[in-house]
Amino acid sequence: MAANFRSIRYSLVIPVFNEEAVLPILLRRLELVLSRLDGPAEAIFVDDGSSDSSSIVLRALATRDPRFRYIGLSRNFGHQVAITAGMDAAQGEAIIVMDADLQDPPEVIEQLIAKWQEGNDVVHARRLSRDGESRFKRATAHLFYRILGRMSSVGIPADVGDFRLIDRKVLDALRQMPEQDRFVRGMIAWLGFRQTEVAFHRLERAAGETKYPLFKMVRLAMNAALGFSDLPLRLAVWCGLTVSGLALLYGGWVILMWLSNDPHLVTGWSSTILVVSLLCGFNMVMTGIVGLYVGRIHAEVKRRPLYVVQTQIGFDRNEAMTAPAIHAVNE
Ligand code: UDP
Ligand code: MG
């Protein structure tokens, strides 16, 4: 095992949730790609609580073929956690995450690797087209990436899912981000490093059905919006300010009507509306401000590192120089 550790160059991480229909084709295509790679590779299947025969097939495969590994989660934790579990176990110098359903063609891996060998640390695979997905899914995905791009302060690339290659050092940094509500593609964008992309045509699912129903998509979108933007909080403040502003304008207008003895003025009504809407506005502002503080606490609780050091040169040399000096004092 120890000898194995250093020699692995590429780790493929593949989350699997009830994918028995697609496994035979996937394994065939994967074997071809693995045999073409220019270094030793491992393929890690993360079984995200499958209840079909996927578990049996993959467990048997991992027992008999040393290139394949199997991680079985105790239940369905969701795609983002599954890929995290797989990446945590990866031993390679370059780690590639891809879906099991062949919507991320294994052949693109070679293009990702080529870009990595040019010196890039993160290579995203960007979807040029999406075949076989409903118009609703395509439209919501399009909207999601555009809105997220505007909301977020880190440049999360559009039309990029979780199909990507990351370098070992990016993975080491990613593993320092222990946040619970994970949106891995945003976290990787946040990390920086040298990022680039290759484009591919996303094909239809080779077999089986999507494991991402609407509620899982909404949850992912919420994690993205709350984890990578404080726009919703600022929105509350702006809403409150607008309502208060409108209430004040209305107040001014009512006073003008009253001064000019307008016969349409109903006594009592205007002042009630004025007080209610003014209070509503204040309330919204205060909620928004509290929200901003909660947002800060939220960010703290996530315990993200403040920054990530990419390279360090000469530090061990400094240590080596001070160490003998301490020795000298002791003697
Ligand atoms: N998946 C998973 N856990 C889940 C849902 C999905 O591990 O709770 C896996 C699934 O087996 C597939 C990948 O994540 O390999 C992407 O899922 P899917 O293809 O169903 O999503 P879609 O492409 O339809 O968005
Ligand atoms: Mg899919």
Q: What is the CATH number of the domain that holds 171?
A: 3.90.550.10
Prediction pTM value: 0.72
8 Å CB contact between 199 and 157: no
Q: Which residues contact 202 (CB under 8 A, 6 or more apart)?
A: 103, 104, 127, 128, 129, 130, 131
Identify the domain containing residue 176 by its residue range: 7-211+305-313
Cα(106) to ligand 1 centroid in Å equals 16
- 20 within ligand 1 shell (Cβ under 6 A): no
Kindly state whether residues 200 and 258 are assigned to the same domain: no
Q: What is the pLDDT of residue 322?
A: 36
Kindly state whether residues 247 and 125 are assigned to the same domain: no
Q: Is 27 helix (H, G, I), strand (E, B) or coil?
A: helix
Q: What is the pLDDT of residue 329?
A: 37
Burial tier of 293 (Cβ tally within 10 Å: 0-12, 13-18, 19+): exposed
Structure tokens at 271: 């002042």
Structure tokens at 183: 């949106």
| Cα–Cα distance list, 159 to 145, 201, 204 (Å) | 6, 11, 16
Q: What is the full per-residue pLDDT of the chain (331 aa) written as tens digits?
A: 444 445 789 999 999 999 999 999 999 999 999 999 988 999 999 999 899 999 999 988 888 888 889 988 888 888 998 999 899 889 999 999 999 988 888 889 999 999 999 999 999 999 887 777 788 888 888 888 888 777 777 778 888 889 999 999 999 999 988 777 788 888 899 888 999 999 888 878 877 888 777 888 888 887 777 777 777 777 777 888 888 888 889 888 888 888 888 777 777 777 788 788 778 877 877 787 777 778 778 777 777 664 454 445 545 543 333 333 333 333 3
| Cα–Cα distance list, 239 to 58, 226, 281 (Å) | 53, 18, 8
SS3 track for 59-79: HHHHHHCCCEEEEECCCCCCH
Q: Could you tell me if residue 39 is inside a domain?
A: yes
Kindly state whether residues 269 and 309 are assigned to the same domain: no
Structure tokens at 244: 């208060």
Cα(162) to ligand 1 centroid in Å equals 10
Kindly state whether residues 290 and 185 are assigned to the same domain: no
- 86 within ligand 1 shell (Cβ under 6 A): no
8 Å CB contact between 176 and 305: yes
- 79 within ligand 1 shell (Cβ under 6 A): yes
Q: Could you tell me if residue 328 is inside a domain?
A: no
User: Residue 100 carries which side chain, given as an amino acid letter?
Assistant: A
Q: Which residues contact 295 (CB under 8 A, 6 or more apart)?
A: 230, 233
Ligand of minimum distance to the alpha carbon of 220: 1
Nearest-angstrom CA–CA distance, 285 and 291: 10
Ligand 1 mutation target, pool 14, 17, 20, most atoms within 8 A of CB: 17
Burial tier of 108 (Cβ tally within 10 Å: 0-12, 13-18, 19+): buried
Atom of ligand 1 nearest to the CA of 103: 23
Number of domains in the chain: 2
Ligand of minimum distance to the alpha carbon of 103: 2
8 Å CB contact between 246 and 276: no
Nearest-angstrom CA–CA distance, 71 and 93: 19
Structure tokens at 161: 């899912």
Q: Could you tell me if residue 321 is inside a domain?
A: no
Atom of ligand 1 nearest to the CA of 82: 7
